[in-house]
Amino acid sequence: MIFRFNRVVQVATTCLLSSVWSVNAAAAVGRRASICNGHSELCDKSYGNVTFIGAHDSYAVGVNNLAVNQDYDVTQQLTDGVRMLQVQAHNNSGTIQLCHTSCTLYNGGTLEDYLGKVKSWMDSNTNDVVTLLIVNIDNLAATEYDTVFKSAGLDSISYAPSSASLTADSWPTLGSMIDSGKRLVTFLDNTADFTSVPYLIDEFTNIWETAFDVTTSFDCEVNRSKTDTSTSMYLINHFLDKVLLGNPVPDVTNANTTNAVSGTNSLGEQVDTCLTKTGKAPNFILVDFYEYGGGSVFQVAATANGVTYDSTSIATPKSTASGSTGSSGSSSSSSSSNSNSAESSRQHWIAALTIVISIAFGASHAL
């Protein structure tokens, strides 16, 4: 009787454990992201067929400084909807620093500190895929970046592709990336090594770019590439510069127009030009001062992605007193007056700084 009772208990326990395993397995198989980068419609779209707004020189934050390209730091950028973060990395006495042209000109802090902010935001926003684009100024080895990524805890959520180069249609869906927990995609513009660090992906064998440091009008011509541009992803550099004492500097005066949905030299116009030329929307759009236009850059991306634009308010420009702008990039007369006054002050600072920099580095030192 005791043997029979023990046998019954054993069978019952086995059945119970088997049932629990089956339920858990079914749940794991059925687990699937329902909202991806803010929209359910994007979950089934390939990463290579989604348009992402990017912050050009996302670490270069401040006002009244010709070396900055953004008003708000990376945390606010991500909160407002930026999903590509471009940085410029330098070797500063053995530490990877985020600097603009030179660490003497502008030092945005260490890469490790910056990545820590990205990790913190991504930990709190688990249904978003984020892209990093690292301009590797000093040609540091991929393994040196790997060390910093591991220190920041980002290696564990970094996506490693199946091969060093993928066509736009070969990338996984946003939903599958979110489900797998591999939600960070990082590109290096040089020295990527797929064998040693597969999650640091070579940019130009996967992405082609349009021209940068534009001071006139935007087009959709291939400027840099090492791949078949007919099948790869592509990035448009949509930030307008002006020349000051021989150096290109961000043209914040025209940022509302540059970031606008429509109009001459607007973001919407360049995207339409690219659609006509390539048959597909750009994958990545790099902009300066993304909040100018009151969300217009995100409206352009939403249209490209075929989703409804979420007009939730975003941060307001720091160089305007009222910060009130419309989605088309227009502003009230009062805002315009305040903006002109602030811009005049900004330009005085820029002129003074440029003179100092020109003396220290030479007028040909690129910004």
Summarised one tens digit per residue, pLDDT across range 310-319 is 988 899 999 6
pLDDT digits (tens, 9 = 90+) for 37-88: 999 999 999 999 999 999 999 999 998 888 999 999 999 999 999 999 999 9
Total count of domains within the chain: 1
Domain membership of residue 278 (yes or no) is: yes
pLDDT at 287 over 50: yes
Domain membership of residue 14 (yes or no) is: no
Q: Is 348 a catalytic residue?
A: no
Q: What is the CATH number of the domain that holds 154?
A: 3.20.20.190
Closest alpha carbon to 87 in 76, 77, 100, 75: 100
Query: Regarding predicted confidence, which is higher, 2 or 271?
Result: 271
Q: What torsion, rounded to 10 degrees, do the Cα atoms 172, 173, 176, 182 define?
A: 60
List C-alpha distances in Å: 160 to 166, 181, 200: 11, 12, 8
d(CA 8, CA 195): 54
pLDDT at 339 over 80: no
At 365 the pLDDT is: 35
DSSP states of 302-367 as a string? HHHHTS-------PPPTTSSS--B-TTS-B-HHHHHHHHHHHHHHHHHHHHHHHHHHHHH-TT---
Domain that holds residue 234: 34-361
Domain membership of residue 9 (yes or no) is: no
In a 3-state reduction of DSSP, which class is residue 194? coil
Q: What torsion, rounded to 10 degrees, do the Cα atoms 81, 315, 61, 147 define?
A: -30
Per the prediction, the chain carries an average pLDDT of 85
Domain membership of residue 2 (yes or no) is: no
Active-site annotation holder among 90, 100, 238, 365: 100
This prediction has a pTM of 0.83
Question: Quick one: average pLDDT of 213-219?
Answer: 96
Domain membership of residue 234 (yes or no) is: yes
d(CA 137, CA 36): 33
The end-to-end CA distance of the chain, in Å, is: 87
Scanning the structure block, which residue is given the tokens 């990093």? 132
Active-site annotation holder among 56, 90, 238, 348: 56
Q: Which residues contact 192 (CB under 8 A, 6 or more apart)?
A: 142, 164, 200, 201, 202, 203
pLDDT digits (tens, 9 = 90+) for 152-163: 999 999 999 999
Closest alpha carbon to 47 in 180, 173, 178: 173
Q: Is 56 a catalytic residue?
A: yes
Domain membership of residue 84 (yes or no) is: yes
Q: Which of 227-231, 237-241, 328-332 has the lowest mean pLDDT?
A: 328-332
pLDDT at 214 over 80: yes
Domain membership of residue 107 (yes or no) is: yes
DSSP states of 123-192 as a string? HH-TT--EEEEEEETT---HHHHHHHHHHHT-GGGB---SSS---GGGSPBHHHHHHHT--EEEEESS--
Question: Quick one: average pLDDT of 326-332?
Answer: 38
Domain membership of residue 139 (yes or no) is: yes
d(CA 94, CA 77): 28
